[in-house]
Amino acid sequence: MGTVTRRALITGVVALTALGAGSARVVDPFTLGVASGDPTPDGVVLWTRLAPYPLAENGLGGMPSRVVEVSWELARDERFRHVVRRGRQWARPESGFSVHVEVGGLEPGREYFYRFATGGHLSRTGRTRTTPAPGTMTTPLTMAFASCAQYEHGYFTAYRRLAEDEPDLVLHLGDYQYEYRKGVHVAPNGNVREVDGPETVTLADYRHRYAQYKSDADLQAAHAAAPWAVVWDDHDVADNWAGSHYSKPEIPQPDFPARRAAAAQAYYENMPIRSKPRGFDLRLYRRVGWGGLTTFHMLDTRQYRDDQPCGDGIKPCPERLEPTRTMLGAEQERWLLDGFRTSSARWDVLGQQVFFSQYDHTPGPVQETNLDAWDGYAADRDRVVAGFSSVRNAVVLTGDVHAAWGAEVKERWDDPASRTAGTEIAGTSITSGGDGSEVYPETPEWFAENPHIKYFNNRRGYVRTRFSPDEVRVDFRGLDHVSRPGAPVSTKASFVIEDRVPGLNPV
Ligand SMILES: [Fe+2]
């Protein structure tokens, strides 16, 4: 396709507008930015959502209740001189005026740029890329992962710093947003900004909350920098939900299935994903392949799990060991283990939510573990670890815990001499928990009680990884504060995982 100028894209829309699709609006509808996601060797999903007034309480961003046509284009260069695909799509009220374009027919392993236009307005430009051709391993992969961005707990500077690292791919492991109404979920050093609206329960509430989050310029920069592969965790719906279970004595849940369906619909509308919800269900477990180098198995550890044992919490609980308990659900577990068996990737990576390694919170023989994490579903974890034996290298990536951790995944947790089967890297939070600290006074005791845990840091940030055939380099990136904007980022620690040698080697 030949050269297409910025004016041509806008002119096309204006011409269309004149034909009756609606009158040009004065207010910019692209206040929520752009995003791309779920890349394949020949395609990617492009996303935007129209919202001239993002904080409109009905969640519809100030849009009129009719369909609006949006045009898009994707080019090989940032100046859109070499446009390779373009098209038009309807933004519909029933989809919250979101637009998901599934572009195909692209070249593998290539960078592209994209943008949208409607009503005489042009969106910002996003950068994305396709994955390398299946089997190829020639180019290293820079992947950054993040989780847990409580809007009130801090500024999203870590998203800005992540964008500045120019990763090829971003994984988001959940708690992209939090459900609380303003002021009830307070960081240790206090909240620094406020969310709008009530605790999110209805579709309008969730849309409204996403719109506020997505108005954040740092978050928009991170989306515009690279394609994302996202999975949700608890707060994207409600604190520590488990399958169809949710109980909070202080907040009655007369109809949790309806709430979960509303959250699923809003999640779809606000994320660059292919999967659409069917009522209550949103299939998020899927694979993202990166040539022959890396296969990301993106997991959903919320939707199919059994309820937390012993009423949840951190406490001794023999019930957590029951062999029938499931975190993944039978179908997802089978899908994962089949994926391990058929994988020929150099690195098989789990993109998942909750802490994977055993973590005993108290010294001595009694085990107090977090029953919301894999410790509450120990038999299912054993089945996953057994599955690691059919892949060359297993790496587990984790969100949820609001601190950076590195751990060796042991075949038998209580025997430090047992074989290391894989490596876990838990990213810290973007903001959740506020400014934080480097470590806690009691951190040395945790290491002593859990010798397979090798690293801990309690600053906010993200993790930058570099995958190559011989090793994965892991940089724990941290900010000294999030209570004020603009913090610089530094690498708090670096480790290398060597091919065929699970575990963390300090750099
Ligand atoms: Fe979180």
Segment 472-484, tens digit of pLDDT: 999 999 999 999 9
Q: What pTM was estimated for this model as a whole?
A: 0.95
Tell me the torsion sign for CA atoms 165, 216, 207, 44.
negative
- The residue type at 294: T
Find the 256 Cα to ligand 1 centroid distance in Å: 20
| 145-155: pLDDT as tens digits | 999 999 999 99
Confidence of residue 4 (pLDDT cuts 50, 70, 90): very low
State the Cα–Cα distance between residues 336 and 352, nearest whole angstrom.
12
Find the 432 Cα to ligand 1 centroid distance in Å: 6
Find the 25 Cα to ligand 1 centroid distance in Å: 38
* Residue 137 DSSP SS3: coil
The answer, yes or no, to whether residue 335 has pLDDT greater than 80, is yes
Find the 238 Cα to ligand 1 centroid distance in Å: 11
DSSP secondary structure letter of residue 281:
B
Find the 217 Cα to ligand 1 centroid distance in Å: 21
Are 352 and 397 spatial neighbours (Cβ–Cβ below 8 Å)?
A: yes
Find the 381 Cα to ligand 1 centroid distance in Å: 21
DSSP 47-98: EEE--SSTT-TTSSTT--SS-EEEEEEEESSTT-SSEEEEEEEEE-GGGTTE
**Residue 451 CB: number of other CB atoms within 10 A?**
13
Higher pLDDT, 253 or 205: 205
Are 213 and 236 spatial neighbours (Cβ–Cβ below 8 Å)?
A: no
State the Cα–Cα distance between residues 297 and 273, nearest whole angstrom.
15
Buried b (16+ CB within 10 A) or exposed e, 92-106: eeebbbbbbbebeeb
Find the 346 Cα to ligand 1 centroid distance in Å: 30
DSSP 334-366: HHHHHHHHH---SEEEEE-SS--S----SSSSS
State the Cα–Cα distance between residues 433 and 182, nearest whole angstrom.
15
Find the 401 Cα to ligand 1 centroid distance in Å: 6
Find the 54 Cα to ligand 1 centroid distance in Å: 24
Find the 184 Cα to ligand 1 centroid distance in Å: 15
| 378-437: pLDDT as tens digits | 999 999 999 999 999 999 999 999 999 999 999 999 999 999 999 999 999 999 999 999
What crossing angle do the helices spanning 217-225 and 203-214 adopt, rounded to 10°? 80
Listed in sequence order, the residues at least 6 apart from 487 whose beta carbon sits closer than 8 Å to its beta carbon are 157, 479, 480, 481
Q: What value does the CA radius of gyration of the chain take, rounded to a whole number of Å?
A: 22
Confidence of residue 254 (pLDDT cuts 50, 70, 90): confident
Q: Which two tokens stand for residue 219?
A: 């978050």
State the Cα–Cα distance between residues 193 and 182, nearest whole angstrom.
9
Find the 246 Cα to ligand 1 centroid distance in Å: 17
